[in-house]
Structure formats: structure tokens, C-alpha cells
């Protein structure tokens, strides 16, 4: 990873979940924690900011994807909404394609449910590295260990819990971070307290779990195994680096827990997104075809443009085409080729979409996710390219009609 590269601080993130596991609430709390929204939207009163569409608010399910950018610890997180409902499988596929990493949300009582399994398999097919967030730890019957066991049994990667819950059900007030060996707690209204040392009552159990985590990681990761054999333990730095690599390879899933509803566990989740999920520089180059030949394009702003339109919405701002730029740079006024439709298009304003507003950009570069105004015909699924360097990122025929969002 080139750490000086501005792309190193970008995370293109999706939240995946079974309907009702809490995806909307987690998204909402992420936007709140990152200062993108200043008011906590509640799912039940229809004020959630990722749900742009009145129809969606009525139904209480997330139908339409939208990409929202927010900031956390000097990083930009582009949050891509993925529909959790099976009826929107194509849209889920398309949003999975533009992600570099995801958080899978589970219900702490139900654990892995049939629909979480199908979303998980879809993410497997797209090779999306994932973290697991066991939500609803405040519910009666919430059980992190049982949820972890169900991830192991039903989804098969090695689930590696990096937290120990503090308190249970109604009294779930925080977590022990097993890497930093510190306690993070939240007040009754969800405000974060300063990290504190692990209390004596939990110390032995925290050390036992840290040891189990080190053993599990050493078993999966050769360099970690070497250190473990040499010294009888793993340094936190080695542990974190190994977790990052195992996540990228899909061999393990880092498990965190919280209660989105009570605004508990969101900040550590965001820290884990930065620590363990890849930036656009860390993922393999995008592949496409031209004249029947496969090509690769690097996430390099100087390479020819290749971008995928993954969502088109008609809004008050105009027709918004959400793009994942895979390589090259796109600027306002550029002429690009919609390879899928076989037409040239003129790029209008380029927008970064926040929860409740847009900001204008002069350009967008490889790795970024933005919305473009002014594209007249490009549909979801279309590849946009430099006119002299065509490439198809998704086979023709998969493009879908415009979704109208008042
Ligand atoms: P989605 O369908 O996955 O987007 O789930 P929602 O975010 O809409 O949540 C489904 C229901 O679970 C709503 O009634 C939420 O208020 C509730 N919920 C979400 N997170 C939590 C949580 O942490 N604890 C509890 N007890 N309920 C939650």
C-alpha cells in the first residue's frame, strides 16, 4: 500500500444484512458518529437519511441504493447502501461489485439467518472482504458467543471476536477491545466515554480471550505462527496486520458487537473498518473485456478512464448517475464513451453525495465513488471509458432502466 497516496485513506464500504438485523440503524448511526448528520434519525419515524424515497420509508425496507460519503479519523468512507431484500438481487450484485469491503450485520439473538447466508454467499462470489457486526446486544437473549458459533458453522470463515462485551442485554454498556486491552463504554444516552483500563472483574476473561485470539490467528497465518512459536505470544501489531491479511483473503472475519439502536459500538466499528478493510489501492485491478480480450486496469489516476455506473436516480438535482471510478480521472466537461450503449456522453457536474447535501468536485479519480449530473442515457450497469480506450466492465444486456426517485 502506498501510504502517501490519497486513495489509501478511502474505504468504499457496504453494509450487508438480513432485513431487520439493523442495517438501516447501523448506517444511520455511522452517519451520526461521523458528523454527517446531527440528528439521529429513527427508522420507525421515517427520518433516516439514506432512505431518500417516500415509498421506501413507507415500507420500512431499503430498496434504492445510494452512496453517501463521510469522514472518520482522516479517512473518507463512501458508504454504499445495499438492498437487503431478496427481490432486489440484481441491485445487491451491482452494489457488491463496487465495494472494496463490507460490514455484515447480524442480530445478536438470531445469529446467522437464512437470508444473511444468501447475502454472505453473494459477497463471497464478489470476493468482498468483510467484518461482522453482531448488533442488538441490548436484546434479551443476546449472545455474542452463540452468534460467533453460528457464523463459524453456517458461513465457514474463521470468526475472530476482537471484543469482549461488558454487561449483557439491558446492562450491555461497553466492550473490552482485545487488541488495545482497554475498555470502551457508553453512557445511557450513547455518548462515548474515555477509554479505560480493563476492570479487575473482567481482566482474567479478557486475557483468556486475547490468548484464544492469538492462538486462532497463529493457526491461520504463517508469520504470526512463527512469532507465536518463538515468543509464546503475538504482539498487537502482528495481530492487527495478520487480521488485515486474513480479512483480505476471506479466511477470517473479525467480529465486533454493539447495539446500533442504543448507539453503542459504532466508533470501534468505524476504527475496525479503517484497520482491517482494504482501500482501493489494496484490491486487485479491475478486469474488463475489449474485442473479446481480457484487460486489467490499475487504480491509477493517470491510466485511461474506466468507470461503472452502478445506480441512476432522478432527483430534484437532476438525473444522478452514481459511478465507481476504477481507473483514470473524470472531469466536468469531459466527453466519455458509454461503451455499453455505444454512445458518447458529456460529463456535467461531479458531486460528492453526503447524507443531506452534495458538494461539487472538479474531478474524481480512480478508487472514488461519486455522482455525476448530465449523463443523459447511461444506465446502471454501463461502463464509461476514455473514448480512445474502450473496455466493458459488465456484459451488455445487464443494464437496467432508470429508477425514478422524486
Ligand atoms: P434493516 O431492515 O436491517 O435495515 O433493520 P433496521 O435498522 O430497520 O432495524 C430493524 C428493527 O430493529 C428496527 O425496529 C430497529 O429499531 C431495531 N433495531 C436496530 N438496531 C437495534 C439494536 O441495536 N437493538 C435493538 N433492540 N433493536 C434494534
- Residue-wise pLDDT for 305-351, tens only, equals 999 999 888 877 778 899 999 999 999 999 999 998 999 999 999 99
Give the C-alpha separation, 310 to 381, whole Å.
5
Verify whether ligand 1 is closer than 6 Å to residue 22 (CB atom).
Answer: yes
135 lines ligand 1 (CB under 6 A): yes
State the Cα–Cα distance between residues 47 and 57, nearest whole angstrom.
8
CA of 311 from ligand 1 middle (Å) equals 26
Is the CB–ligand 1 distance for residue 215 below 6 Å?
Answer: no
Residue nearest to atom 6 of ligand 1 (CA): 22
Residue nearest atom 25 of ligand 1, based on CA coordinates: 136
Distance (Å, whole) CA 329 – CA 338 = 15
Q: Mean pLDDT for the chain?
A: 87
Out of 14, 23, 43, give the residue to mutate to test ligand 1, the one with the largest number of ligand atoms within 8 Å of its CB: 43
Q: How far apart are CA 61 and CA 68, in angstroms?
A: 18
Q: With a 6 A CB cut-off, is 24 part of the ligand 1 pocket?
A: yes
Ligand 1 pocket, 265 CB below 6 A? no
User: Quick check: CB of 169 below 6 Å from ligand 1?
Assistant: no
Q: Report the complex ipTM.
A: 0.99
Residue nearest atom 2 of ligand 1, based on CA coordinates: 20
User: Is 245 a pocket residue for ligand 1 (Cβ < 6 Å)?
Assistant: no
Binding residues are 17-24, 81-85, 135-138
Distance 74 CA to ligand 1 centre (A): 29
Extract the C-alpha cell encoding 229: 512459536
- pLDDT top residue among 165 and 7: 165
Indicate whether residue 17 lines ligand 1 (CB < 6 A).
Answer: yes
Which atom from ligand 1 is nearest to the alpha carbon of 43? Answer: 8
Mapped onto helix, strand or coil, the DSSP state of residue 376 is: coil
User: pLDDT, tens digit, for every residue of 41-84?
Assistant: 444 444 444 444 444 343 333 333 368 899 999 999 999 977 76
C-alpha distances (whole Å) from 194 to each of 3, 268, 302 are 29, 13, 43
For residue 259 and ligand 1, the question of a CB distance below 6 A is answered with: yes
Q: Tell me, what's the pLDDT at 66?
A: 66
Q: Is residue 349 lining ligand 1, measured as CB closer than 6 Å?
A: no
d(CA 187, CA 192): 7
| Structure-model confidence comparison of residues 291 and 267, the more confident one | 267
Question: How many CB atoms neighbour CB 207 within 10 A?
Answer: 15
* Residue 244 pLDDT greater than 90, yes or no: yes
Q: Which atom of ligand 1 is nearest to the CA of 135?
A: 23
Amino acid at each position: 500500500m502506498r501510504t502517501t497516496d490519497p486513495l489509501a485513506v478511502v474505504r468504499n464500504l457496504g453494509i450487508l444484512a438480513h432485513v431487520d438485523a439493523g442495517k438501516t440503524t447501523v448506517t444511520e448511526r455511522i452517519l451520526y458518529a461521523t458528523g454527517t448528520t446531527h440528528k439521529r434519525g429513527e427508522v420507525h419515524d421515517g427520518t433516516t437519511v439514506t432512505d431518500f424515497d417516500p415509498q421506501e420509508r413507507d415500507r420500512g425496507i431499503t430498496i434504492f441504493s445510494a452512496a453517501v460519503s463521510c469522514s472518520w479519523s482522516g479517512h473518507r468512507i463512501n458508504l454504499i447502501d445495499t438492498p437487503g431484500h431478496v427481490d432486489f438481487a440484481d441491485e445487491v450484485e451491482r452494489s457488491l461489485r463496487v465495494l472494496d469491503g463490507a460490514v455484515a450485520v447480524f442480530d445478536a439473538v438470531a445469529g446467522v439467518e437464512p437470508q444473511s447466508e444468501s447475502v454472505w454467499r453473494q459477497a463471497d462470489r464478489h470476493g468482498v472482504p468483510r467484518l461482522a457486526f453482531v448488533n442488538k446486544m441490548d436484546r434479551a437473549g443476546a449472545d455474542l458467543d452463540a452468534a460467533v458459533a453460528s457464523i463459524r458453522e453456517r458461513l465457514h470463515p474463521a470468526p475472530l471476536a476482537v471484543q469482549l462485551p461488558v454487561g449483557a442485554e439491558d446492562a450491555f454498556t461497553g466492550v473490552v477491545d482485545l487488541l488495545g486491552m482497554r475498555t470502551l463504554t457508553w453512557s445511557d444516552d450513547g455518548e462515548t466515554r474515555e477509554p479505560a483500563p480493563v476492570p479487575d472483574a473482567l481482566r482474567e476473561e479478557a486475557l483468556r480471550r486475547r490468548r484464544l485470539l492469538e492462538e486462532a490467528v497463529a493457526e491461520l497465518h504463517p508469520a504470526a505462527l512463527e512469532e507465536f512459536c518463538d515468543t509464546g505470544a503475538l504482539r498487537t501489531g502482528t495481530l492487527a496486520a495478520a487480521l488485515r491479511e486474513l480479512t483480505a483473503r476471506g479466511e477470517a472475519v473479525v467480529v465486533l458487537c454493539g447495539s446500533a439502536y442504543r448507539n453503542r459500538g459504532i466508533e470501534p466499528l468505524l476504527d475496525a473498518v479503517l484497520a482491517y478493510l482494504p482501500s482501493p489501492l489494496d484490491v486487485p485491478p479491475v478486469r474488463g473485456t475489449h474485442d473479446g480480450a481480457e484487460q486489467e486496469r490499475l487504480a491509477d489516476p493517470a491510466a485511461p478512464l474506466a468507470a461503472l455506473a452502478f445506480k441512476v436516480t432522478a432527483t430534484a438535482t437532476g438525473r444522478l448517475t452514481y459511478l465507481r471510478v476504477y481507473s483514470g480521472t473524470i472531469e466536468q466537461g469531459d466527453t466519455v464513451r458509454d461503451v455499453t450503449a455505444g454512445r458518447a456522453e458529456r460529463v456535467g457536474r461531479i458531486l460528492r453525495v453526503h447524507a443531506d447535501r452534495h458538494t461539487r468536485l472538479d474531478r474524481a479519480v480512480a478508487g472514488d465513488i461519486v455522482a455525476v449530473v448530465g449523463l443523459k442515457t447511461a444506465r446502471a450497469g454501463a461502463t464509461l471509458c476514455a473514448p480512445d480506450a474502450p473496455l466493458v466492465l459488465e456484459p451488455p444486456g445487464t443494464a437496467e432502466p432508470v429508477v425514478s426517485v422524486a
